[in-house]
Structure 1
Amino acid sequence: MTPYIADSAPIDAAAWQESWDRQQEAYLPDREHRLAAMLDAVAAVADTDRPRLLDLAGGTGTISLRALARFPHAEVTLVDQDPVLLAIASASLAGRAVLGTADLRTPDWQAGLPTGGFDAVLTATALHWLPADRLTTLYAEVRALLRPGGILVNADHMPDDGLPGLTKRLTAHADARRTARWAAGAALSWSDWWQRVTADPVLAAPAQRRREIYPDGHTDSAEFLPTAGWHLDALRTAGFTEVGTVWRGGPDAAVAGVR
């Protein structure tokens, strides 16, 4: 992790957070439910009002902001690689969290993180960009960052192993509903949101750095979206003593591993 240094240009953090949330909710209508379930898991394992949290691939700070609202004295660290999302997170969190740049594809991403063991590592709709072998290794790396009894929670598209046919139908239904929202102008699509970023002069510098990091952009073909069972097996392989599902909504789930 390299400490994040914000650009000097002011960012309208509230507007960009609102825009990001609405864009994400078109994909994840029950987004707030999954985030609340993740924080419930933190509350269950933390024995202090100052839990130490790592927001892994934290983007604009969605989890960090909600964690600080629920645990005002929490010690929060957020890491991500995307310069645009980090810029928004930095403006939104305004010094209430430690921010760092980290490439989770490399084993040295954890260098520079605060020491002492985290109570929880939380991540949502982010790790699907990693291939299977790297994600399995990352789970083990995260386990090493947790204190004994600490928890990792990863929420993402994780179909139920026993419902492959129903999962396809649920996904098709959600796709149709989202397409209708886009057509009605009720929400921005992923590509439309990034076009607005590119057109914003305040975000021009981080947007240029982002293009250098992701010259081809993120594409669906790069996503790795296995079943919840695959994730649970990977968590067991990584050495977690307890693994299970703490939330499910249709084809999405949040899996947890306790060290």
Structure 2
Amino acid sequence: MPSTALDPVGVAGRRAAWDTVMTGFVPGLPALERVIGTVTEGLHGGPPTRVLDLGGGPGLLAERMAARWPGARVGLVDIDPVLLALARTALPGAVDVIDADLTAPAWTAAAGGGYDLVTAVMTVHYLDPAPIRTLYRAIRRILAPGGLLVVADLMPDDHAPTVMRALDPVPGEATAELAWTQWWGELTAAAEFAPLLAARSEVFRDRPTAEFAGGPAWHAQAARAAGFAESGLLWRDGRHAALACRRT
């Protein structure tokens, strides 16, 4: 990834804007974070010791988990050079920022193991069904016994795999899409991001978004096939939902 020094004040503003964009897509994300925290502490009888956020982007969820559990070692995995640079600039030393491809076996070696909690929030829809199943097997291997996987994404009620483009639009979605486009457009206009954006184009040049959206039943079945004996719906907000899977 290019070595680019970013302005910390500007990075803080861009991360705050990213947070606004994401809650525009899924207004219930703050509630989901609270549920994840409460359930994790309940299962472990207190704070977790190791936490990992997959597809963690600029590190907002990882940062909040580190603040909630200051004694825990918190990390994030992502592949986007722009988002990784934002996370590294904002969170030096507070969060382990790992540049790794979740579709490549080597990511587990980079992440290590023994995690009490692994989250994947708005991440797996970028993958096709087969890589999601492989990812679930890999996550189970890096979880500690009794560890929890929380997958939150577009999970329609019909419990059948579909494609997001085929789903009916919902109120506010067009506004969120516009905000997403504007966020990236502002980065394109900033000279300091030019090397990172060039690197990003190379990373995603042959990596189209799958736009897969399986229902909770599909994800539960994939988790069982990966070796998770327990799973259940943790949260729902419109078409988005979170499934919790526990390693026994």
Same fold (TM over 0.5): yes
Amino acid at match of 2:197: A
Task: Tell me what 1:32 maps to.
Answer: 30
Match of 2:229 among 226, 241, 244: 241
Aligned residue number for residue 253 of structure 1: 241
Q: Which moved more, 1:54-63 or 1:209-218?
A: 209-218
Q: How many residues align?
A: 243
Q: Is the 8 A contact 1:38 1:254 kept in 2?
A: no
Deviation at 1:191, TM superposition (A): 2.0
Q: Deviations over 1:156-197 (max 9, x none)?
A: 110123799xxx9x95333xx333x46xxxx95222211111
Residues 1:227 and 2:215 aligned together: yes
Return 5+ residue gaps in structure 1 as ranges: none
* One-letter amino acid matched to 2:59: G
Q: Which residue of 2 aligns with 1:197?
A: 187
Distance 1:224 1:163 in 2: 11
Are 1:80 and 1:86, in contact at CA under 8 Å, matched by a contact in 2? yes
TM-superposed deviation, 1:241: 1.8
Task: List gaps (5 residues or longer) in structure 2.
Answer: none
Would the alpha carbon gap of residues 111 and 172 (structure 1) be closer, same or farther in structure 2, given more than 3 Å must change? Answer: same
Deviates more, 1:41-50 or 1:143-152: 41-50
Which residue does the alignment assign to 1:123? Answer: 120
Partner of 1:146 in structure 2?
A: 143
One of 198, 202, 220 as aligned partner of 1:212: 202
Contact 1:125 1:156 survives alignment (8 Å): yes
Judge conservation of contact 1:23–1:188 (CA < 8 Å) in 2: no
**What is the deviation of 1:205?**
1.8
For the Cα contact (< 8 Å) 2:53–2:77, is it kept in 1? yes
Moved over 6 A (4+): none
In the alignment, which residue of structure 1 is the partner of 2:80?
Answer: 82
The alignment's TM-score, normalised by the length of structure 2, stands at 0.88
Q: Which residue of 1 aligns with 2:99?
A: 101
Report the AA paired with residue 233 of structure 1.
Answer: Q
Distance 1:162 1:203 in 2: 40
Q: Pick closer, same or farther for the CA change 1:50–1:28 going to 2, 3 Å.
A: closer
Instruction: Please give the secondary structure, in 2, of the residue aligned with 1:9.
Output: coil
* TM-fit CA distance, 1:13: 2.6
2:173 to 174, 178, 182: 178
**Residues 201 and 150 of structure 1: is their aligned pair in 2 closer, same or farther, counting only changes over 3 Å?**
same
Question: 1:60: Cα distance to partner?
Answer: 0.9
Give the stretch that moved more between structures: 135-144 or 42-51: 42-51
**Aligned-pair Cα RMSD in Å:** 2.5
